Chain A
Amino acid sequence: MKNLYLIAYLDLKESIRAKWFVVYSLVFGGLIALFFIAGVTESQVMGFSGLSRLLLMYIQITIVILPIFILITTVRSISGDRDNHILEYMLSFPISLKQYYWGKIIGRFITVYLPVLFAMVIAVIYGAFKGADIPWSIFFLYTGLLFALSSAFLGIAFFISSFVKSSEVALGIAFFIWIFLLAFIDIALISLMMQQRFNEELIIFISLANPMELFRVAAISLFDPELTVMGPVAFYILDSISQSMFVLLSIGYPLVLGLIFAFLGYKIFEKKDLV
């Protein structure tokens, strides 16, 4: 365990010093600051106002940029170290592959999750200071959703990192996965739905198997428990499971997905030549 924490701690320290981390933190902190400056908390759209409105906007932007940030910054963690011979030296010390791999994941998870969480905490503190009502239920839901989404993409990134031979290929695959989950699935499913080739239930199931889509739906479910803005899709979702069950699923599923990918990545890392 000592070595696991050591790897996590050193990876965390190394990441915090890296330029990408500064940019990453500034983007999320800057978003919140921008919303305050733009007066989002004072505006009212579709009945949502104050901090709720701010958090909703924050989460909508986060859904787009968080996955790509995590993928790009993490996908090179193992493959990059392999590329530039860092792995060759660091693994010449008596550290098990399990400790090295999972230590890196823990360190990287803290690095990617904390700035996103801190940005929301700052928003809540600032909002409280300005006398706004704190939407605690939304805050906790988003904390859980972001945790789950970070896990899913971190797991996918480590999975890619474990088998690609060069950092450039890793980046290419990461970008493809991001754009595929963000847009292509939706476009493909919408066209299939329009052509009525498959039944709607199957299409909605495929759609919700996408962690980004699930995150998107869960993010609005607290504002709109009936999911009316989603139209007929809500019928299928809420007909199958209750709203609270849906929230649990939207946190549990990406978390499990991330763990499965991370575990597969570990198995590949263990079975392949290390350098």
Chain B
Amino acid sequence: MIKVSQLTKKFGSHISLDNVSCEFNKNESIALMGANGAGKTTLIRSILGYYHPDQGEVLINGLNPIKERTKVLQEISFVPQLPPPIKLSLDELIQYVSISAKVDRELILHYANEMKLDIKANLNKSFFKLSGGMKQKMLIAISLAKKSDIIIYDEPTANLDPKARDDFYRLLKQNEEEKVLLFVTHRLEEVKDLVNRQIYMDLGKIVSDETV
């Protein structure tokens, strides 16, 4: 599904990804770990087609995420580490997602309720005015409702309380079949039951790749 071949990405003189090659296939749940600056976020952003590589390439189902971004992104759900300060109301954000990615609005509301987010009462509120936990729940609800083949979470539980984390993992368990789940995390113990592959990165390289 995802094929990364000899990918190098530099920012000035700093090498963020150094000749990285790896593949992620269906039914794999991967924990992507490593110290700050190891290159995890750069790898994810390259998969999303945000970066132009200095060398090598990324292919998602055989497609280049930069040249074929709309086709590729139709198959990817992404939740960033920190919810961005989007000024749209929740209703407008749902409208954006449901029109651009053809996601069923009712399904977003369904998953929001499953995440115990009182969405009906907050529909006209600006996204950035919600609490950190509420924002994260909303983004998770959207990611699940999108029904993508590839789900990428960058520290998704950072703002969630223990109860919300349980809800999140329960919903993820129900939705993991036939997908690639990619977690960027510093806390392996939290996703240990979910993942079947662990990748460690350091200084822009993959230093360990184990199937568990």
Contacts A10-B92, A13-B92, A93-B100; is A88 near B80 (CB within 8 Å)?
yes
Taking the closest CB of chain B, its distance from the CB of A12, in whole angstroms, is 11
Find chain A residues with CB under 8 A from B80 CB: 85, 88-89
Q: Give 12 A-B contacts (CB < 8 Å), ordered by A residue.
A: A13-B88, A17-B126, A84-B84, A88-B84, A91-B48, A93-B96, A93-B101, A95-B70, A96-B69, A273-B52, A274-B49, A275-B45
Contacts A94-B100, A96-B70; is A6 near B50 (CB within 8 Å)?
no
- Chain B 72-95 near chain A by CB (<8 Å), digits 1 or 0: 111011101011111110001001
- Chain B 171-182 near chain A by CB (<8 Å), digits 1 or 0: 000000000000
Q: Check A89 against B101 for contact (C-beta < 8 Å).
A: no
B26 contacts the other chain (Cβ, under 8 Å)? Answer: no
**Measured CA separation A85–B139 after assembly (Å):** 14
Taking the closest CB of chain A, its distance from the CB of B203, in whole angstroms, is 20
Interface hits, A149-204 → B, CB 8 Å: none
A2 contacts the other chain (Cβ, under 8 Å)? Answer: yes
A3 contacts the other chain (Cβ, under 8 Å)? Answer: yes
Q: Check A89 against B84 for contact (C-beta < 8 Å).
A: yes
Q: List 17 additional contacts besides A6-B99, A13-B92, A17-B87; criterion CB under 8 Å.
A: A3-B99, A3-B100, A6-B100, A10-B96, A14-B92, A17-B126, A84-B85, A85-B80, A89-B80, A89-B84, A89-B86, A90-B86, A91-B50, A94-B70, A94-B71, A274-B50, A275-B50
Q: Check B50 against A94 for contact (C-beta < 8 Å).
A: no
Closest chain B residue, CB of each to CB of A274: B50
Find chain B residues with CB under 8 A from A274 CB: 49-51
**B side interface size, CB within 8 A:** 32
A206 contacts the other chain (Cβ, under 8 Å)? Answer: no
Find chain B residues with CB under 8 A from A95 CB: 70, 73, 100
Q: Check B86 against A273 for contact (C-beta < 8 Å).
A: no
**Measured CA separation A102–B51 after assembly (Å):** 21
A57 contacts the other chain (Cβ, under 8 Å)? Answer: no
Contact of A94 among B52, B69, B82, B92 (CB under 8 A): B69
**Measured CA separation A96–B48 after assembly (Å):** 13
List the count of A-B residue pairs having beta carbons below 8 Å apart: 77
Find chain B residues with CB under 8 A from A125 CB: none
Closest chain B residue, CB of each to CB of A11: B88
Q: Check B86 against A6 for contact (C-beta < 8 Å).
A: no
Interface hits, A66-123 → B, CB 8 Å: 84-86, 88-97
Q: Which of B49, B69, B101 has the most CB of A within 10 A?
A: B69
Q: For chain A, which range describes its interface: under 10, 10 to 19, 20 to 34, or 35 or more residues?
A: 20 to 34
Interface hits, B91-131 → A, CB 8 Å: 92, 95-97, 99-101, 126
**Measured CA separation A25–B59 after assembly (Å):** 48
Closest chain B residue, CB of each to CB of A96: B70
Find chain B residues with CB under 8 A from A93 CB: 73, 96-97, 100-101
**Measured CA separation A51–B101 after assembly (Å):** 50
Closest chain B residue, CB of each to CB of A15: B87
Interface hits, A222-275 → B, CB 8 Å: 271-275
Q: Check A90 against B96 for contact (C-beta < 8 Å).
A: yes
Find chain B residues with CB under 8 A from A89 CB: 78, 80, 83-84, 86, 139
Taking the closest CB of chain B, its distance from the CB of A15, in whole angstroms, is 9
Contact of A14 among B49, B70, B74, B87 (CB under 8 A): B87
Taking the closest CB of chain A, its distance from the CB of B124, in whole angstroms, is 11
Q: Check B96 against A86 for contact (C-beta < 8 Å).
A: no
Q: Check A10 against B97 for contact (C-beta < 8 Å).
A: no
Find chain A residues with CB under 8 A from B74 CB: 94
Closest chain B residue, CB of each to CB of A275: B50
**Measured CA separation A218–B139 after assembly (Å):** 51
Find chain A residues with CB under 8 A from B78 CB: 89, 92
Q: Check B73 against A92 for contact (C-beta < 8 Å).
A: yes
Closest chain B residue, CB of each to CB of A2: B99
**Measured CA separation A40–B1 after assembly (Å):** 70
Contact of A10 among B71, B77, B88 (CB under 8 A): B88
**Measured CA separation A89–B50 after assembly (Å):** 11
**Measured CA separation A13–B95 after assembly (Å):** 13
**Measured CA separation A70–B120 after assembly (Å):** 36
